[in-house]
Amino acid sequence: MEFVEGQYEIQSLKLTALAEKYGSPLYLYDTANMERQYQRLMNAFPGVRLRLNYACKALTNINILKFFNQLGAGLDAVSIQEVQIGLKAGFAAEKISFTPSGIHPEEAYQAVGLKVPVTLDSLSLLEKFGKKYSSSVPVSIRINPHVMGGGHAKISTGHKGSKFGISFQQLPQILDLVNQYRLHVRGLHMHTGSDILDISIFLKSAEVLFDVAGSFPQLEFIDMGSGFKVPYKPGDYETDIEELGRLLSERFNQFCDQYGKNLTLIFEPGKFLVSTAGYFITRVNVIKETPLTVFAGVNSGQNHLIRPMFYDAYHHIVNISNPEGAVKPYSVVGYICETDTFAWERELPEVREGDYLVFLNAGAYGFSMASNYNSRLRPAEVMIHKGKDLLIRERETLDNLLRNQIVHQF
């Protein structure tokens, strides 16, 4: 987003004009930003065969998936529905990586039926899979490296107490099953969390995988998951991708030499690829002065962007209607009948009823975590691509809310 002659723009399109054209609340995605993020990561790992699987749970609109397919990315899917959307978006089955957690075995078998590679994350599933397919279907295994990482307890997934993966300490049990059923283990996988600033977390957990890898002679790839932290606040820190790339590439190549084969290194970023590319435009319904604060109540809430309420996440807010107004503190809240506070006492240029407030970093886990709570409709989505705005999801209607309800006569 750029500030040009008193107005905010994306790819030369004025945000206020887009808000007027499509109405609010509205999700906007800038594909130029996504492409820059993709290329930045692709260039950060010198001398390594790198593959990026876009973790589409962050933003699942099929047009975004098609865009990443065109860039040459693979896809990380965590439900059979994400797999199916990926196939519809045009991804070749072998470029989709199914890395779910705690699924019913049938869901894994369904992915096999679609020829999509599967990652197994429990001894129980490993056994069932082995009995059914033996070596006929290659698999990868998700290892829990016992490393604590992530910006919030709810998004830390690689520590000892986490439900994800199979503990590296259970390697003997894994090997028993692999040998018993002659499983063909093609890859090792891990994912330690989201919002990880400290690159030593990645380096430390890589060592665990490199150690474990020695027991699997048929590996083709090591999948390090994701979790790169992006900047949320102005001047915020972000994962030093270039430094991580330099250190990890060196270590990965060393490991490959020892292993005796050049493996592919995979990452599966969601946030890094789409967070900063997304904008969520809301409109101020009401300014309410109370003895304690001044509330700016917008035409949205935790139903559309839950990150501030669920993870205490900071999302920067910009008043695009009055960018040069006098700065004052406002508590920006939603219209949901719960305390859905986006920001408490945030300094903003004077906010008036009818102004558009834009939330930044709304590309990842914004729309994809939206709900219909309070029977509110989910917003429209617009993609800004090659200087043009494309409506990629219509705003919901009352019919959408009622579609699956069965009305009985009593």
Among 25, 74, 130, 269, binds ligand LLP (CB under 6 A): 269
Contacts of 320 (CB under 8 A, 6+ apart): 7, 8, 15, 16, 19, 281, 355, 356, 357, 358
Q: Pick the catalytic residue: 4, 292, 337, 398?
A: 337
Kindly state whether residue 121 participates in binding ligand LLP, applying the rule CB under 6 A.
Answer: no
Residues 9-38 that bind ligand LLP (CB under 6 A): none
Place of tokens 């082995």: 130
Number of residues that bind ligand LLP (CB under 6 A): 20
DSSP structure class, residue 263? P
Whether 56 is catalytic: no
Kindly state whether residue 69 participates in binding ligand LLP, applying the rule CB under 6 A.
Answer: no
Kindly state whether residue 272 participates in binding ligand LLP, applying the rule CB under 6 A.
Answer: yes
DSSP lists the bridge partners of residue 318 as 358
Least Å distance between CB 295 and ligand LLP?
A: 25
Kindly state whether residue 223 participates in binding ligand LLP, applying the rule CB under 6 A.
Answer: no
Q: Cα-flanking dihedrals φ and ψ of residue 379, to 5°?
A: -70, 170
Kindly state whether residue 276 participates in binding ligand LLP, applying the rule CB under 6 A.
Answer: no
- Compute the chain's Rg from CA coordinates: 23
Among 117, 165, 187, 227, binds ligand LLP (CB under 6 A): 227
Residues 347-366 that bind ligand LLP (CB under 6 A): 364-365
Beta carbon nearer to ligand LLP, 18 or 230:
230
Kindly state whether residue 378 participates in binding ligand LLP, applying the rule CB under 6 A.
Answer: no
Least Å distance between CB 388 and ligand LLP?
A: 27
Place of tokens 């050049």: 262
Residues 36-55 that bind ligand LLP (CB under 6 A): 55
Contacts of 345 (CB under 8 A, 6+ apart): 293, 329, 330, 331
Q: What value, to the nearest 5°, has the Cα angle with vertex 94 and ends 93 and 100? A: 80
Q: Which stretch binds ligand LLP (CB under 6 A): 123-131, 212-220, 263-271, 383-391?
A: 263-271
Q: Cα-flanking dihedrals φ and ψ of residue 211, to 5°?
A: -60, -50
Among 44, 75, 103, 155, binds ligand LLP (CB under 6 A): 155
Closest among 64, 84, 91 to 274, alpha carbons compared:
64
Kindly state whether residue 225 participates in binding ligand LLP, applying the rule CB under 6 A.
Answer: yes
Kindly state whether residue 76 participates in binding ligand LLP, applying the rule CB under 6 A.
Answer: yes
Q: Which token pair is 160?
A: 């000892």
Beta carbon nearer to ligand LLP, 99 or 321:
99
Contacts of 251 (CB under 8 A, 6+ apart): 203, 206, 210
Q: Which stretch binds ligand LLP (CB under 6 A): 62-70, 179-187, 223-231, 326-334?
A: 223-231
CA distance linking residue 151 with residue 134, whole number of Å = 39
CA distance linking residue 402 with residue 377, whole number of Å = 11
Kindly state whether residue 271 participates in binding ligand LLP, applying the rule CB under 6 A.
Answer: yes
Closest among 53, 38, 45, 245 to 140, alpha carbons compared:
53
Among 307, 315, 346, 385, binds ligand LLP (CB under 6 A): 307
Among 69, 144, 205, 226, binds ligand LLP (CB under 6 A): 226
DSSP lists the bridge partners of residue 284 as 298
Least Å distance between CB 365 and ligand LLP?
A: 3
Beta carbon nearer to ligand LLP, 298 or 364:
364
Q: What is the distance in angstroms between the CA of the first residue and the CA of the last residue of the chain? A: 54
What are the angstrom distances between the C-alpha of 69 and each of 27, 72, 98, 223?
21, 5, 16, 19
Q: Which residues are catalytic?
A: 337
- Chain contacts with ligand LLP (rule: CB under 6 A): 55, 58, 76, 99, 155, 191, 194, 225-228, 268-272, 307, 311, 364-365
